[in-house]
Amino acid sequence: MEIIVHRGTHQIGGCATEIRTSHTRILIDFGAELPDESGYLPPDHLEIDGLNTGEPNFDAVLLTHYHGDHMGLIAKIPDSIPVYLGRSASEVHRCYAQRMARRDPEGLAAAQRIKPLDAMRPLTIGDIRVTPLPADHSAWDAMMFLIESEGKKILHTGDFRLHGFRGKATLPLLEKYAAGTDLLIMEGTRLSGGSHAGISERELQGKIKEVIRANKYVFALCASTNIDRLASLQNATPRGRYFLCDTYQKDILEAVRKRAISEYYRFPKVTVYGKNLEHKLRKRGFVMAVRGNSQFAQIAAQYPDAVLIYSMWEGYLDGRSPLLSDFVKPFADSGRLLRLHTSGHAAPEDLKAVCDTVKPAQGVIPIHSQKPEEFPGLGLNTPTIFLTDGEVFAL
């Protein structure tokens, strides 16, 4: 097998990793670039021969999850090349694509042709066998991929963490299915610093519950697809109080609810906000999931004593998202802003734990990191293999 990281060896986002044999070519993720610190998003010119330029000859594209920096370019993939994403993840993404359809009709068409993947159900593509392994991430139904062909095994982690609600299952799962692989391709996002080290999703859940109990009116700003965070907010909402959102958010939560095994993700309290509810809201109180736009800003202005839980990456407030910054500013100026967040990515010690569990015989290739040179300092039990974008590595 050969591996080519077309993009992602020295940056976060814009991921695209090819794995090929003499008979089969697959791509894991085809992500869009992230904006720079000023908020500028340059035109994305990533071209991969056989995928979005030249004669199509890829056999499949596998998406680890629905974040744009991992699947934002899929509309450029010809219809003849199948694209796969987790079954529940594809339904969540379809809600987003339908909302953006007027602005991005090609994105909706791409979302509608995605083929579903099920965790632990192997898929054969040419002479490559792919087993999707469930991963804990801030995207629902995220996957790692175990790739087998020509007597070799590769584990591609995608984005993951061990400090989420389902993170404790990751190492036993890898011990059972992925130990003794030949190569590990692993994200290293948090080696760049600026992470929320030291707090788990469960610890964050407790802090959210304290805030909601202490405040009658609570707005919560988080990603509309961060299902763990939304579940924490809804389950922390006391009996008698409303848990509110708009119709778009409810559609996403309904897509999750239909396939949720745990009661924690059933979202029984969800109510769509309407002005007809104002009297009851003022009397009983509420928790409202919001996004940084003028519609929610108008609602928030009616509750000057409400608090805002900001549960997103801090970098969005440094100029990259003016709408978000404008929404947050009144709460920050009045001292009613509470920053409660934890990363969707693995802590450095968890990168080591995964590597120690998988024990890749040939080494680990860092991706999705601005500081891949930090990998050897983790004390890994295997060599670090540094690649440049577009370099061919033969396994």
CA pair distance 221, 293, nearest whole angstrom: 11
The residue behind tokens 């890749």 is 360
Structure tokens at 247: 């119709």
State the pTM of this model: 0.95
Question: 29: which 2 tokens?
Answer: 């993720």
Closest Cα to residue 144, out of 105, 107, 180, 184? 184
What is the DSSP secondary structure assignment for residue 151, as one 8-state letter?
T
Angle between helices 247-259 and 227-236 (to 10 degrees): 100
Task: Measure the CA–CA gap between 54 and 319, rounded to whole angstroms.
Answer: 38
Q: Looking at residue 322, what is its pLDDT?
A: 81
From first to last of its 395 residues, the chain has per-residue pLDDT tens of: 999 999 999 999 999 999 999 999 999 999 999 987 767 777 898 999 999 999 999 999 999 999 999 999 999 999 999 999 999 999 999 999 999 999 999 999 999 999 999 999 999 999 999 999 999 999 999 999 999 999 999 999 999 999 999 999 999 999 999 999 999 999 999 998 654 456 999 999 999 999 999 999 999 999 999 999 999 999 999 999 999 999 999 999 999 999 888 999 999 999 999 999 999 999 999 999 999 999 999 999 999 999 999 999 888 887 677 888 899 999 999 999 999 999 999 999 999 999 999 999 999 999 999 999 999 999 999 999 999 999 999 99
CA 19 to CA 395: how far, in whole Å?
A: 10
State the Cα–Cα distance between residues 258 and 260, nearest whole angstrom: 6
pLDDT at 195: 45
Strands 392-394 and 128-135: unpaired
CB atoms within 10 A of CB 176: 10
